Structure 1
Amino acid sequence: ISNKSIYGDLSAVLIWNAPFYVEFIRTPEQKIALIEDFEEKLELITKITVKQNVTSFSGVPSWYLTLVKNVLAYTGKSSLLDVWPNLEVFFHGGISFTPYREIYKKLIPGDQMHYMETYNASEGFFGIQDDPGRTDMILMLDYGIFYEFIPSDKVGSDSPPAYPLGEVETGVNYAMVISTNGGLWRYMIGDTIVFTDTDPYRFRISGRTKHFINAFGEEVIVDNADKALEAACKGTGAIITEYTAGPVYMGESSRGTHEWIIEFEKEPDDISKFTGLLDDTLKLINSDYEAKRYKDINLVMPVVRSVPGGTFNRWLKSKNKLGGQNKVPRLSNTREFIEELYGFLVIL
């Protein structure tokens, strides 16, 4: 890399290249935001921003949740509006907001708070939620990006079809391929999306090309998982902080299943009911999962394990992935992440 090139974490690159006048309307100042040590930065941001008139913030929901909790603990308040009374919008992206929506509503109660999704990555800026009344985003067509879309079930096959925008269909899970004026050529960014409309082009992020469970042909994607967990939480009064899931392989005398490691902000009233609702919703929205669960022939009831608060952050810290653009992998077709978590936690 040339010594004239700037490279690093996307958030840091954006902050470094922001116009000078941004410094007059942001908090904390740039040198604080660029501190590499996440825990040191968290403490400084907390102490500085509690004295400011914060009206909006933007970033990854999981890391902002850590900041929000730290601010409330530091001030002794139960609502973030008691600290920042003029707070009105959170521009979020990077991961699905669905698992975090209820806990944000709890910590920021009231109708004045709005949540707007953005879809940007190191490779480009792809979409924005332009209507607060909708849950999908509009595709950005004038940002120097040529789009192609490969059906997710064809990814990895020989000569998979790649459709231009004019040939996409709603309701189909696609892997997104981009060519940009920045030099990328037919680059698969690793995300999957589902179009909800084609006039204009609106979509939802459904997951990652590498984050899924298909050990038994069930084809569970992150969008399925988020919706199933949302239904289970609503039915049992639970609130989730983090989760990951993976397969439990068939043994000589046992059938396969899925294992869910979940960190709850509020435990479900009944963990068995929670598991049942999770399973029932997955069967309702995913016909492949339903077929594999039929009479427990291939898959049996999933296993849900609750872990102590802070478990996922400790795991990420052990991998030097605390803060920044790092995210908890939601699904895996192997037991890699689950076994790593088992290495230093006590299951409740």
Structure 2
Amino acid sequence: METPETVRQEIPKPSDAVEGRPEVRDEQDLAGRSERLFGWILKGGGISILALFGVVLLVCLVAAWPSIHRFGLSFLWSSAWNPNRKIFGAFPYLVGTLWVTGIAMITSIPVAIFSALFLSDYAPPWLSGIVSTLMEMLAGIPSIVFGAFGITFMVPFLRDHLEPYLAQTLGKRWDFFNGDPLGYGILAAGFVVGFMIVPLVATVTRDSLLMVPQEMVEASYALGATKAETVFFVKLREVLPGIVGSVILGFGRAVGETMAVLLLVGNQPSIPETIQDVGYTISSLLANTFTYAVIDPLYAAAEVELGLILLLITLAVNTLGRELLLRLMGGRLAGSVGGG
């Protein structure tokens, strides 16, 4: 005789009955296959990025190998560049690249950060919207347009006004500011490249500032801090990793800039000694001479090695920037845990 407990055990659970239906099993199998397919697509995207980078690096190494094998590490500090004698050295182009990039970063970072602070905390909404739109438009303008602006405005301004002024004032104490006021040179190229990266750095910094929690700002005001103190000691400190990231992006844009620099730097394979000297950058050299270099295997290999050096510089800066970001964020997390 069946007891109530036996009858209760034989009655299937509603969930078991639903899961046992064929259409439910088919839907679960389809969902599982879709999930696995999506995972494989994501893995494929990550692997393809690594594969693309590996292919580019391998191709550059193979193409640059004749130059690497012949000149070795002396290629980095040699100043000779004579295709007719098959002698090549990267030092003038490395120095020119660092000069232009350094001037661009020094002139652009303060402007970009203060612009971001103005747009996020001080400008009225209508003005902030207009200026933000203009900055985003400037970030998309081709570099050749900035180069034309540099030729028509920046070069005459430097030649007739700023460079003579620097030589007559600061040049009396530091030879670093002396030189022939040509207008063209590393100063013109650095200024124009600085203009080009201001929108990028300012936009990323502004977006970081707008993401600061409002509760943190209100807490600062509640403690008696002024608006300036809140902006500089609370918000800027909170978004410091974002600012570092924007500066790294700006450096990557500046160190590889080509067309505007090609029009303004002077394109002379000499080592600049003052900010008024002309020079040559790696990217402008490649754009200017690579089509002629391919007729000579060693000449082409030397220029590919320059491109490889530029790639490694960018990788090194991005790696250092990533480590700095991790240290900043790690220190902040440790501080918050310790304070709690």
- State the structure with more CA Rg: 2
More helix by share: 2
Would you say same fold, with TM above 0.5?
Answer: no
- TM class by shorter chain equals under 0.3
